Amino acid sequence: MCDMFPYPSGDLHMGHAEAYAIGDVIARYWVLKGFNVLHPIGWDAFGLPAENAAIKNNVDPGTWTYANIEQQKASMRNYACSFDWDRVLYTCDPTYYRWNQWFFLEMFKRGLAYRKYSAVNWCTQCQTVLANEQVVAGLCERCDSQVTKKKLAQWYLRITDYADRLLEDMDQLEGKWPEKVLLMQRNWIGRSQGAHVQFVIEGREEPVSVYTTRPDTLFGATFFVVAADSDLAAELASGTPAEAEFNAYLDKVKASSEMDRLESGREKTGVFLERYAINPVNGEKIPVYAADYVLADYGTGAIMAVPAHDQRDLDFARAFKLPVTVVVDSDEDPRETGIATTDNGVLVNSGPLDGLTKAEAIPRMIEVLEERGTGSAATNYRLRDWLISRQRYWGTPIPIIHCEKCGEVAVPEDQLPVELPSTEGLDLSPKGVSPLATAHDWVNVACSNCGGPALRDTDTMDTFVDSSWYFLRYADSQNSEAAFDPKKVAEWLPVDQYVGGVTHAILHLLYARFWVKVAHDMGLVDFVEPFTRLLNQGMVLKDGSAMSKSRGNLVRLTEELEINGVDAIRLSMVFAGPPEDDIDWAEVSPSGSKKFLARAWRLAGDVTSEVGADPTQGDQQLRKATHKAIRDGELNVESLRFNVLVARVMELVNATRKAIDTGCGPADPAVREAVETVAIMLSVVCPYTAEEMWMLLGHEPTVARAAWPTVDPSLLVEDSVTCVVQIAGKIRDKLQVSPDISQAELEALAMASTEIIDALTGQEIRMVVVRAPKLVNIVLK
């Protein structure tokens, strides 16, 4: 049972309260069921908030981080989280991050980590590069600032090599992860099938390849578009009469923000480059444009435009008065409607493809292209390689030395960890270059290969590296010889139940899945998916919106605990609704929880029978209620419906209260059985109250180690059940029948009922539906 580990920014808030209450219920339940449960915790301790706080308050980021961790740790202990405190890890500790470096070098050796000079996402506020996954709608995921493009040499991890496996292994997660998360991951990877098609450009030696999912429409390609910000566009424009116009356009494109670019309904713009491409299937000369609606970093950065059957191409064709050729038959004519047709018609005006459907035409066209050597089938992905370099201080140093002679040299394993230099004398403020670059004593080293003068890589790793494998480290968190002992990981992992917010649906979960697959290929783990089951708990809202410092609607856990107590808060969180739903704090009633806890606790004091009293001698009705509660409790915990679990315990408390006051009385052994059951079931949610009850009942501590009660199946069988007798769907009579009554017996019984006989007088029966033992429906003509 693993909770997503926290980031140590300030004290815990109500969001943590919900997540950890849920995780703790699961962990405590399985302990009571007799399982050996690993319920670890650690801190995701590297990252920008610490660094920014350090700059602002002029303290060491480590000092700030560890102070916050201590505060959170104290709150967690108070909150009664059953964490294994011997296995705690902090990702900012060299004993942890040295294994980030080790993994990185292993990947470097395998060609999975590489350095590349290219246009990258640059956050103007954080002054660092960002991974694709960290750019949300053109803004920095962390600070919501504008993201621009910048050309830099950066380190990447080859996650695209794993795209197919990341998709295909999702089959294992079907039904165990939220459907929504699986869908988001699929969309993010964005695999599509199509073809590469080679177009000769007049006056250029090399043909240019385009990617298309609709090679069948190649006869309808009437123009050609290259991404304005691609190298190809600049090259094609250079030396043409259009060069000046192109440069002006490019400047405009660069100046427009990512936000503008994403705006929907935006008019298509572009520049004719005064050059022509040759359509490989019909030899037609088609004009080449540069435009910003084609993305430089998807596919090949160039497209064949088929305006009749692609809306974007059609919009562009209409704006630039370009011809539109229909090659898929349809009732509507895109030239008139302005709407591109994408339905499954029959191919026309397409030479050898005429008369074929889309499904037939695509493979046929690929054959034609392959015969002529001008194209081939292709798979394309939206997923890009994971850029992990960051130009900030508070992260894992990249263990590479740059030597003039030897190039990129891995730091030898016996020199790991490459520790961060002291912040003393360093200026951490964001300035576009890693602060590590100014730690001269640290940067200048002898090349470990040739001994010559060399420089350390001054970037640090994305903190998502830290969280991509921490759950593996829990199995062996003190290991100083290796990231972990594979045998220990095999013993505990994969994580049976992972709990955390849906905000990590893509980033963290995708990276962790990738990392585990790499570890699998390295022979370190014997599984390919890190988290067997995933629960995304909802958010805790205040007055309809997410709690945040800026809104000023933050509810601090510490204060709530002082007012209401730990158990009441845990209970309120769990009882407020299904765990995946958002909770509005305004609708939560800790006082109601307190009332219930007091009510449950009072039961323990009322029991007068001795410890060990034989319940089989007790009141059968109460025993049935008890065992039904146990059974339902199991079902509800195991299907993660903790709110219903609580309702069942409340039900049992009510039944017991009644039994004591007006039923069998407090001395009945069934009362003891019921109250002990309440204590044990309640202990997963409210451990303090349950412990008090356990002691009042005369038991030795601790209820957390008591066994979950065993259900007596004979007590689950009802003596009789109510059968509803309907005529034409309306209830006319109710019968008390044995639960194992036969269909025929029940029908006979129903037909013999005086009410039914009366109601059927003068009626003709068409059919009788019998569902023993619950229902009989008599249908009339």
Partner RNA sequence: GUCCCCGUAGUCCAAUCGGCAGAGACACCCGGCUUAAACCCGGCACAGUGUGGGUUCAAAUCCCACCGGGGACACCA
Helix axes 507-521, 94-109, angle to 10 degrees: 60
Out of 156, 223, 293, 531, name the contact with RNA by CB under 7 A.
Answer: 293
Farthest-apart Cα atoms in the chain, separation:
109
Query: Which amino acid type is present at position 736?
Result: Q
Which of 293/474 has CB closer to RNA?
A: 293
Tell me the window of 62-70, 116-124, 212-220, 693-701 that interacts with RNA (CB under 7 A): 212-220
Instruction: Determine which residue in the list 227, 273, 340, 512 makes contact with RNA, applying CB under 7 A.
Output: 227
Binding segment for RNA (CB under 7 A), chosen from 198-206, 304-312, 468-476, 702-710, is 304-312
- 364 near RNA (CB under 7 A): no
The residue to which tokens 């705006």 are assigned: 263
Part of the chain binding RNA (CB under 7 A), chosen from 148-156, 236-244, 306-314, 369-377: 306-314
Closer Cβ to RNA, 303 or 678, answer by number? 303
Tokens of 497: 């139940």
User: Of 433, 482, 598, 611, which one interacts with RNA (CB under 7 A)?
Assistant: 598
C-alpha 288/C-alpha 280 separation (Å) is 15
Distance (Å, whole) CA 316 – CA 309: 12
**Nearest approach, Cβ of residue 165 and RNA (Å):** 20
Pick out residues in 697-726 that bind RNA (CB under 7 A). Answer: 721-722, 724, 726
Give me the 567-596 binding string for RNA, x by CB under 7 A, dash otherwise: --------xxxx--x-----x-x-xx--xx
Q: Does 186 bind RNA (CB under 7 A)?
A: no
CA 462 to chain centre: 18
The CB density around residue 174, as the number of other CB atoms within 10 Å, is: 9
Binding mask 251-280 for RNA (x = CB under 7 A): ----------xx-x-x-x------------
* Closer of 306 and 493 to RNA (Cβ): 306
- Cα–Cα distance, 468 to 458 (Å, whole number): 22
> Which residues are within 8 A (CB) of 185 and not within 5 positions of it... i.e. 6 or more apart?
166, 170, 505, 506, 509, 510
Q: Which is nearer to RNA, 613 or 647 (CB)?
A: 647
Q: Quick check: 359 binds RNA (CB under 7 A)? A: no
Inter-CA distances, 374 with 206, 615, 705, Å: 12, 83, 71
Nearer to RNA, 482 or 731 (CB): 731
Options 77, 109, 151, 180; binder of RNA; rule CB under 7 A:
180
Work out how close the CB of 543 gets to RNA at its nearest, in angstroms, rounded to a whole number: 13
Q: How far is the CB of 544 from RNA (least distance, A)?
A: 8
- By CB under 7 A, the residues from 54 to 113 that bind RNA are none
| Residue from 16, 39, 214, 732 in contact with RNA (CB under 7 A) | 214
From candidates 6, 47, 61, 299, binder to RNA by CB under 7 A: 299
In order of 106, 407, 409, 448, the CA distances from 455 in angstroms are 21, 10, 10, 11
CA angle 482, 488, 494 (to 5 degrees): 110
- Which letter does DSSP use for residue 405 in this model? T
Residues β-bridged to residue 752? none
210-218, 242-250, 279-287, 747-755 -> range binding RNA (CB under 7 A): 210-218
Q: What is the DSSP letter of 350?
A: -
CB 4 within 8 A of CB 508: yes
Q: Which two tokens stand for residue 751?
A: 């037909």
Judged by CB under 7 A, the residue of 406, 528, 704, 775 near RNA is: 775
Tell me the three-class secondary structure of 471-535, residue by residue.
HHHHHHCCCCCCCCCHHHHHHHCCEEEEEEEHHHCCHHHHHHHHHHHHHHHCCCCCCCCCEEEEE
Site for RNA in 609-648 (CB under 7 A): 641, 643-644, 646-648
Q: How far is the CB of 388 from RNA (least distance, A)?
A: 20
Select the residue interacting with RNA from 44, 106, 229, 292 (CB under 7 A). Answer: 292
Q: In this structure, are residues 626 and 670 in contact, taking their beta carbons and an 8 Å threshold?
A: yes
Size of the site for RNA (CB under 7 A): 75
Of the residues 148, 160, 172, 213, which one makes contact with RNA according to CB under 7 A: 213
Minimum distance from CB of 595 to RNA (Å)? 4
Q: Which residues contact 422 (CB under 8 A, 6 or more apart)?
A: none
* Nearest residue (CB) to RNA, 356 versus 724: 724
- Distance of closest approach, residue 227 Cβ to RNA, in angstroms: 6
Question: What is the three-class DSSP state of 37?
Answer: coil
CB of 418 to RNA, least distance (A): 34
Measured from the CB atom, is 322 or 576 closer to RNA?
576
Residue 310 binds to RNA (criterion: CB under 7 A): yes
Cα dihedral sign, 468-473-477-483: negative
Q: Compute the distance between CA of residue 498 and CA of residue 537 in angstroms, rounded to an integer.
A: 10
CA–CA separation, 760 vs 741, rounded Å? Answer: 23
State the nearest-atom distance from the C-beta of 275 to RNA, in Å. 19
Q: By CB under 7 A, what part of segment 732-761 binds RNA? A: 734
769 binds RNA (CB under 7 A): yes
**Is residue 190 involved in binding RNA (CB under 7 A)?**
yes
Q: Is 689 in the site for RNA (CB under 7 A)?
A: no
Note whether 506 binds RNA by CB under 7 A: yes
The answer to whether the CB of 21 falls within 8 A of the CB of 685 is yes
Contact pick of 67, 136, 482, 707 for RNA (by CB under 7 A):
136
Reference 163, options 379, 378, 389; nearest CA is: 379
124, 599, 666, 749: which one contacts RNA (CB under 7 A)? 599
Is residue 137 involved in binding RNA (CB under 7 A)? Answer: yes
Please give the residues from 314 up to 353 whose contact with RNA meets the rule CB under 7 A. none
- R_g (Cα) of the chain, nearest Å: 34
* Spatial distance between the Cα atoms of 21 and 750, rounded to a whole number of angstroms: 50
Closest-CA residue to 50 (of 102, 4, 8, 107): 8
Among 164, 343, 661, 700, binds RNA (CB under 7 A): 661
Site for RNA in 370-389 (CB under 7 A): 380, 382
β-strands 192-201, 375-380: how paired?
Answer: antiparallel
Nearest residue to 390 via CA among 441, 500, 290, 465? 465
How far the first Cα of the chain sits from its last, in Å, is 58
